Amino acid sequence: MEENREKIGNIRVRGEKGRVAAYWCVDGSRDVFLCAIEQSTFDNHVHVRDLFAELAQEVFMNRAREKGDSICLRAREPLARTVQFPID
């Protein structure tokens, strides 16, 4: 992926060190990290790339909202509540 290949509104998606990261472009001086995904998954799976773009937009829309006051682009069935993803 080329550096700064894609831009969605004020969200810029760029490749960096084996991953693709989305940043909110605040102004000309700084970008705010939103989320990232492993590079080859992003490159090889169009549906995952679309989900990544949606995730970046959802993170952007919710970053300044109060806990529990989330908004979403599209309603989906929730993951099973018992699913836990470890954070390293």
Q: What is the pLDDT of residue 75?
A: 65
Per-residue pLDDT for the chain (88 aa), expressed as one digit of tens each? 444 455 556 888 999 999 999 999 877 668 899 999 999 999 999 989 988 988 999 899 888 889 888 887 776 666 555 445 554 4
d(C-alpha 20, C-alpha 42), whole Å: 7
* SS3 per-residue string spanning 14-47: EEECCEEEEEEECCCCCEEEEEEEEHHHHHHCHH
Model pTM above 0.75: no
Give the chain's domain count: 1
| Owning domain of residue 56 | 1-88
